[in-house]
Amino acid sequence: MRTVEWHDGVVRMIDQRLLPHRFEVAEFSEYQEVARAIKEMYVRGAPAIGAAAGFGLALAALQSPATTVPALVEDLKAAYDVLYAARPTAVNLRWALDRLMHLVYSLETEDVDAVRQALVAEAQRIADEDVEINKRMAQHGAELVPANARILHHCNTGALATVDWGTALGVIRMAHEQGKNIHVWVDETRPRLQGARLTAWELMQWGVPMTLIADNAAGYLMSSGQVDLVLVGADRIAANGDVANKIGTYKLAAVAKDNNVPFYVVAPTSTIDLQTPGGDAIPIEERDPREITHVGDELIAPEGVRVYNPAFDITPARLVTAIVTEYGVVRPPYEENLRAVVEQAEEDRKKANR
């Protein structure tokens, strides 16, 4: 199944908190539950979060007792705020919510049920588009991967981080299917271990040769000539090319630069936020201290220790070799070239809706 999907008026998600040991699907019939699932990381990865939020807003429309369109809009505004607050760093969440709200405002109808059905259809369209976009990115990104490449990957960017297929891991999957004889170094990705739990599991399902490493081993691997390129995803890309991604990404980019290793970010145009000029304007989510002090239910730190647990960091654009989008590989100057691909995506979407 897809990571997140609509099924008979409920939102279904693979509960990623349980992988790799248990595969379970959770179902949610209220938008508040979807918001909680996003916050508690049943679902994660910027594109998957965006799709989940879209379905959440569609649920809000079905939940609403409104009998007029203006009343429905007020209920949708309240649901928007709840869903957006779940994980504000990932811009795909806001992008999906805005897309659905813009649709509501553009509909010239007084039929409240027609608005509800239009929202469900648009949320489904966002999910379907994500799969196609990921495959296009994979094709473009695989062109950057040489034969016999040794690739370093951080966090999880596979099918589990999207609706299906994946971003950076989608590139890896494509390169593997093209017979390029690649090998992947998988960062464990503390504190939630998305690399160890999810990326390793996905690569093993696909039969991609891989080795799991501690996060702190990545610098040694690069300095000793055992990495040919770094591939990561993104939760938000600012207009100037600064990248917000899973904590630890900046450190990898700096070490890659020091060792002349190409550092590639793979992300759809929906992750590019032209409203945010630079990385210093991106909100950084701080998560539960238990993610640092515990492994599972086991306390590994002194009781009462002070904890700082930012979920993301900012990689400056100067450290990013290129950004792979569904419209191809974007290189500096980012401010100009990112705007061009976003405008192209918006124009293509308008044409498709005509």
pLDDT score of 350: 80
pLDDT band at 147 (very low <50, low <70, confident <90, very high): very high
pLDDT of residue 90 exceeding 80, the answer is no
pLDDT score of 58: 97
pLDDT of residue 352 exceeding 80, the answer is no
Q: Is residue 227 a contact partner of residue 261, using CB atoms and an 8 Å limit?
A: yes
CB within 8 Å of 275: residues ≥ 6 apart:
239
pLDDT of residue 206 exceeding 90, the answer is yes
Distances (CA, A) of 53 to 12, 24, 79, 85, 87: 12, 20, 10, 11, 10
Q: Residue 178 carries which DSSP code?
A: T
* pLDDT tens string 210-223: 999 999 999 999 99
Crossing angle of helices 168-177 and 112-142, rounded to 10°: 50
Q: What average pLDDT score do residues 82-101 get?
A: 90
Q: Give the per-residue SS3 of 297-308.
A: CEECCCCCCCCC
Tell me the DSSP string of 49-87: HHHHHHHHHHHHHHH---SSHHHHHHHHHHHHHHHHTT-
Report strand pairing: 322-325 vs 263-266.
Answer: parallel
d(C-alpha 18, C-alpha 4), whole Å: 15
Q: Residue 187 carries which DSSP code?
A: E
Hey, how many other C-beta atoms are within 10 angstroms of the C-beta on 278? 15
Angle CA(224)–CA(229)–CA(235) in degrees, nearest 5? 125
CB within 8 Å of 124: residues ≥ 6 apart:
6
d(C-alpha 290, C-alpha 309), whole Å: 9
* pLDDT tens string 164-184: 999 999 999 999 999 999 999
Report strand pairing: 322-325 vs 328-330.
Answer: antiparallel
* C-alpha closest to that of 128 among 92, 170, 164, 176: 164
pLDDT band at 46 (very low <50, low <70, confident <90, very high): confident
Q: What average pLDDT score do residues 107-111 get?
A: 88
Q: Residue 209 carries which DSSP code?
A: -
Share of the chain above pLDDT 90, in %: 92
242 included as an active-site residue: no
pLDDT score of 354: 66
CB within 8 Å of 143: residues ≥ 6 apart:
329
Q: Domain 4-135, CATH 1.10.10.10 — does that match? A: no
pLDDT score of 1: 80
* C-alpha closest to that of 268 among 236, 297, 242, 230: 236
Average pLDDT, the chain: 95
Domain ranges, ordered by start, for the chain: 4-135, 137-353
pLDDT of residue 89 exceeding 90, the answer is no
pLDDT of residue 55 exceeding 90, the answer is yes
pLDDT of residue 274 exceeding 90, the answer is yes
Catalytic entry in 164, 187, 235, 273: 235
pLDDT of residue 353 exceeding 80, the answer is no
Crossing angle of helices 46-63 and 31-39, rounded to 10°: 160
CB within 8 Å of 166: residues ≥ 6 apart:
134, 138, 157, 158, 159, 160, 173, 202
What is the torsional sign of CA 133, 198, 220, 309? positive
Q: What average pLDDT score do residues 276-290 get?
A: 95
pLDDT of residue 135 exceeding 90, the answer is yes
pLDDT of residue 41 exceeding 70, the answer is yes
Q: What average pLDDT score do residues 51-59 get?
A: 97
* C-alpha closest to that of 158 among 342, 16, 351, 307: 16
CA 319 to chain centre: 20
CB within 8 Å of 90: residues ≥ 6 apart:
46, 49, 50, 235, 236
Q: Domain 137-353, CATH 3.30.499.10 — does that match? A: no
Hey, how many other C-beta atoms are within 10 angstroms of the C-beta on 247? 21
